[in-house]
């Protein structure tokens, strides 16, 4: 079963790559990439460090609300390693699974699984809301007409939602433990989000983290001299980021680039610029967490 799933993911990546090659001018994309300004990449590197720190704080708070002891230093180290794994392994959730395993309490994975799941849910929920609000408020905030490509964008957005729902439903149907976990999720969510008005702290952290993802993408676009308009930061970029959530590729590669190529023309930019921005974003996100992950592994080896 796992072998078939792995073959399916790689096949999907290869299919998407061929589709991208067929749809866009690869030479023009390469020309854009060759002009990348490393000074912008250095700034993006710094923002990613802030992003990891805020994410680790959110996880630490979530775990402690569920009576799981997790120090901030360990949370930061684990998050570096998990992020690197998520961006480089099939499915995009391998790092989170490793977080669950390494931080289980007394041999039990239940509490650890709950804290990691809710922590990731907080971010995805805010990203979903930002995307939806951005599209709804486009004509009001940006004083522009809704783009003619809106039906295609909404179609992509709905497709992402349907695919995610189908994946969750499939796993819930196949696994009794998953169904039990879903039933136990509700009281855990109440403790993390509702009791003592924790929703306020969770919201602030999650908005800041989502903003950091969008800012990194914007900086990557600047680095290739293809700056994004303000409207894009609240509309097409969040949709591209949401596409990475689908666990059917390797670290989001391929699906993210295809989404960017499809959506960049909506804001008046070329598909080639979208692919180039997405590639730079993926590389920057991966390279930026390598030092932290290596430092964690080195310290663990010396301990």
Residue span of the structural domain in which 126 resides: 2-302
Q: How many domains would you assign to the chain?
A: 1
Q: In DSSP terms, which residues pair with 253 in a beta bridge?
A: 250
The answer to whether the CB of 277 falls within 8 A of the CB of 221 is yes
Query: What residues pair up with 108 in beta bridges, in sequence order?
Result: 105
CA distance 239 to 68: 33
Give the pLDDT confidence of 185-221 residue by residue, as tens digits.
778 888 888 888 888 999 999 999 999 999 999 999 9
Find, among 92, 163, 155, the residue nearest to 171 by Cα.
163
How is residue 296 written in tokens?
Answer: 């964690």
pLDDT digits 0-9 by tens, 75-98: 998 999 999 988 887 666 777 888
Note if the pTM is more than 0.95: no
Phi then psi for residue 253, to 5 deg, are: -65, 140
Q: How many residues does the chain have?
A: 303
The answer to whether 130 and 210 have CB atoms below 8 angstroms apart is: yes
Give the pLDDT band (50/70/90) at residue 137: confident
Sorting pLDDT into bands at 50, 70 and 90, what band is 100?
confident
Exposed, middle or buried, 299 (CB in 10 Å: 0-12/13-18/19+)? exposed
CA distance 239 to 291: 29
Q: Residue 245's closest CA among 115, 111, 128? A: 128
């Amino acid at each position: 079963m796992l072998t078939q799933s792995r073959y399916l993911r790689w096949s999907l990546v290869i299919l998407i790559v061929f589709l991208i090659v067929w749809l866009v001018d690869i030479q023009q994309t390469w020309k854009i990439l060759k002009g990348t300004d490393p000074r912008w990449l250095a700034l993006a590197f710094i923002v990613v460090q802030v992003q990891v720190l805020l994410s680790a704080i959110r996880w630490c708070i979530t775990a402690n609300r569920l009576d799981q002891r997790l120090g901030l230093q360990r949370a930061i180290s684990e998050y570096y390693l998990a992020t690197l794994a998520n961006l480089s392994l099939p499915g995009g959730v391998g790092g989170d699974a490793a977080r669950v395993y390494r931080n289980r309490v007394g041999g039990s994975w239940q509490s650890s699984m709950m804290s990691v799941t809710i922590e990731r849910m907080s971010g995805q929920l805010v990203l979903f809301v930002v995307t939806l609000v951005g599209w709804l408020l486009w004509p009001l905030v940006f004083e522009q007409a809704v783009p003619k490509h809106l039906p295609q964008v909404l179609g992509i957005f709905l497709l992402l939602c349907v695919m995610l729902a189908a994946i969750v439903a499939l796993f819930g149907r196949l696994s009794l433990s998953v169904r039990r976990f879903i039933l136990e999720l509700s009281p855990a969510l109440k403790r993390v989000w509702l009791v003592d008005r924790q929703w306020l702290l969770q919201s602030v952290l999650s908005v800041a983290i989502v903003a950091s993802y969008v800012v990194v993408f914007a900086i990557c676009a600047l680095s290739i001299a293809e700056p994004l308009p303000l409207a894009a930061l609240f509309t097409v970029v969040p949709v591209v980021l949401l596409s990475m959530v689908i666990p059917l590729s390797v670290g989001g590669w391929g699906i993210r680039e295809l989404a960017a190529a499809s959506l960049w023309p909506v804001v008046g930019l070329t598909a080639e610029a979208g692919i180039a921005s997405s590639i730079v974003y993926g590389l920057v996100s991966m390279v930026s967490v390598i030092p932290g992950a290596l430092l964690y592994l080195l310290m663990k080896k010396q301990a």
